[in-house]
Structure 1
Amino acid sequence: MAELTRLSLNTATVRERWDLPACIEGCARHGIDWIGPWRDGLAAYGVERAARHIRDAGLKVSGLCRGGWWTAGTLAQAIEDNRRAIDEAAAIGAACLVIVNGGLPDGSRDLAAARARCLQGLAAVLPQARAAGVPLALEPLHPMTCADRSVLSTTAQALDWCETLGEGVGVALDVYHVWWDPEVLTQISRARGRILGFHVCDWLRETRDLVTDRGMMGDGVVDIAGLRAAVDAAGYDGPIEVEIFSSRDWWARDPDEVLSVMKRRFERCV
């Protein structure tokens, strides 16, 4: 099992009840060493205030969610937003900036062009990311999100993009999005030196909504410990984020209860 010192709270897990300051205090109260904030919470609190609060609470930042979305609006707008995201990640000492690349542009059926646009955007901001010491963590999402959320769908495809882009780019692997892939273990092995983040939750057997019906670790069908062992064997020894979007269950619960359960399940299932 993974050591509890690797546990990170991705703030999406309690986003309906706690703002970023409450998440920081909650992590400190529950003895959780890492936090993975989202940019909307960061903007609401203020980047410098958040950086100071995180530092004063003795926390480390596993990653900032999220950059990308190259296909929303114009590419120039997306590039400018990602430049801001890189600066924000650097300011709070984030280990990486998680990139969700975006789906097809409105009205488009040209998947190849959408993917080329994502690579163009990544290449445009990569020099700034390298200079700031903020690695870009490409997160492949489940293929069912290809139209509206991510044209980057598999670990193999993400690693191909990493090889195209070069230094300063890696992958963030979320078990929710990669567990189904028959090549996932082979690709995790291939990812040695490229794994920047590892996210856990569970896939419920009767998932009602792909985006907001994730389960707590142990409540679904994913071999989480097996995937964690694979990323460890590939050389990853960094933080493990619990990221649960759960509109019918965990978002409605007391966040202190959620964090208590999260710690127990992490020790048992991850």
Structure 2
Amino acid sequence: MTPHPRLSLNQACIKYATLDEALAVTAEAGIGSIGLWREPVADVGLAKAAELVTRSGLRVSSLCRGGFVTAEGQSARTAALAENRRAIEETAALAAAGAEGSAAVLVLVAGGLPATDTDLRGARERAQDAIGALVDDAAAAGVTLAIEPMHPMYAADRGVISTLRQALDIAAPFPALTVGVVIDAFHVWWDPEVFDQIARAGVERRIASYQVNDWITPLPADSLLARGLMGDGHIDLRALTDAVGVAGYIGDVEVEIFSHDLWNMPYAHAAAMISRRFDAIGLPTTAHQSTSC
């Protein structure tokens, strides 16, 4: 079975693979694109990582992750901005090292509430302020800062931006080429406004990345591991995918799943299973295009 030409394997699916292993497994599976994570890149250093990406012949669909900019206090803010500026540099270098059609997209997870804090509005404002402080750096590097709304169950500890509307409202003051959004099925499928907001994101040309997976029940004790393979859960992936396509997104579609079942498989088996299940999302079989909505 030939993998879909727009399929991208996010490294989270094979969490324990080194960067070299992840690139090799993806290429050997016939998958043309990979979503990278900063930790495996840091393990080998940026220069070596870029060399490995070039050698692999793969496109890069995104780098995960930046963000975590909701802490209070000037020293924490300064440190967070410095870390995100490093992530912007990494994103630009890895996209440049990838095959034609690579996307210089840095996924931003806003961060949660500081200890004992209850001010969600204030945390969201700090996230927007931080994005404003990073826009010039991203624009200069040719990088898109892609805000990822997260399911509300993560609002306290991981992501205070909970809906696509909130993400788009935060992005609105900034140029669409520099600040966009990530549409992750796991995080947005429940939202009664999701289809209206996907359409809005298309009109505003802010869809920087589309990630797929499924919502499984019962939820595991660790809610981060509640993602299943496409077709195993409750998300209407075909409807979401149709909406994202109608909104104009034509880039790679990442499969991003955190699952012990996948992590415990041989990496090649996990990649093959993901490739087989990708058809469940109903993405038309058209070649990857290098521009997004």
Q: TM-score range by the shorter chain?
A: over 0.9
Q: Which runs of 4+ in 1 moved over 3 A?
A: none
Shift in Å at residue 170 of structure 1? 0.6
How far has the Cα of 1:112 moved from its partner? 1.6
Query: Matched residues in 1 for 2:198 and 2:281: separation?
Result: 19
Q: Does residue 90 in structure 1 map to residue 92 in structure 2?
A: yes
Residue matched to 1:171: 181
For 1:91, the aligned partner's letter is: A
Provide Cα deviations, 1:190-211, integer angstroms capped at 9, x if missing partner: 0011100000111013121321
Q: How far off its partner does 1:161 sit?
A: 0.8
What secondary structure is seen at the aligned counterpart in 2 of 1:63? strand
CA distance in 2, matches of 1:268, 1:98: 24
1:162 aligns with 2:163: no
**Alignment check: 8 A CA contact 1:75 1:117 kept:** no
CA displacement, residues 127-178 of structure 1 (integer Å, 9 cap, x when unaligned)? 0100100000000000111000011000011111111333410101100000
1:120 deviates by: 1.1
Cα deviation, residue 267, structure 1: 2.3
Question: SS where residue 159 of structure 1 aligns?
Answer: helix
Matching of residues 252-267 of structure 1 within 5 Å: 252-267=264-279
Alignment check: 8 A CA contact 2:106 2:146 kept: yes
Equivalent residue, structure 2, for 1:212? 225
Q: Aligned partners of 2:192 and 2:70: how far apart in 1? A: 28
Task: Determine the structure 1 residue equivalent to 2:82.
Answer: 80
The amino acid that maps onto 2:278 is F
In structure 1, what is the Cα distance between the partners aligned to 2:240 and 2:47?
Answer: 36
How many aligned residue pairs are there? Answer: 266
Does residue 190 (structure 1) correspond to residue 200 (structure 2)? The answer is yes
Partner of 1:5: 5
Give the deviation of 1:72 after TM superposition.
4.2
What letter corresponds to residue 79 of structure 1 in structure 2? Answer: L
Q: Identify unmatched segments of 5+ residues in structure 1.
A: none
**Equivalent of residue 228 in structure 1, options 224, 230, 241:** 241
Structure 1 range deviating more: 79-88 or 252-261: 252-261
Please state whether the residue corresponding to 1:8 is helix, strand or coil.
strand
Asked if structure 1 preserves the Cα contact closer than 8 Å seen for 2:237 and 2:280, the reply is: no
Structure 2: which 5+ residue stretches go unaligned? 96-102, 283-293
TM-score (norm 2): 0.88
Residue of structure 1 in register with 2:136 after alignment: 127
Determine if contact 2:238/2:280 at 8 Å carries over to the other structure: no
Q: Which residue of structure 1 lines up, in the alignment, with residue 58 of structure 2?
A: 59
- Note the alpha carbon deviations across 1:36-94, whole angstroms, 9 max, x for none: 11111110021111112111211111000000000247111100000000000011014
Partner letter of residue 158 of structure 1?
Answer: A
Does the aligned pair in 2 maintain the 1:21–1:45 contact within 8 Å? no
**Is 1:114 the equivalent of 2:123?**
yes
Distance in 2, matches of 1:137 and 1:71, equals 16
Partner of 2:157: 148
Distance 2:280 2:120 in 1: 41
Match of 1:243 among 246, 253, 256: 256
| Kept after mapping to 1: 8 A contact 2:241/2:281 | no
1:92-134 CA-to-partner distances (Å, cap 9, x unmatched) read 0143000000011123111121111111111111101001000
Q: What SS does structure 2 have at the residue aligned with 1:217?
A: coil
- Work out whether 1:23 is the aligned partner of 2:25: no
1-side partners of 2:269 and 2:154: how far apart? Answer: 31
- 2:145–2:179: 8 Å Cα contact kept in structure 1? yes
Percent identity between the two aligned chains:
46
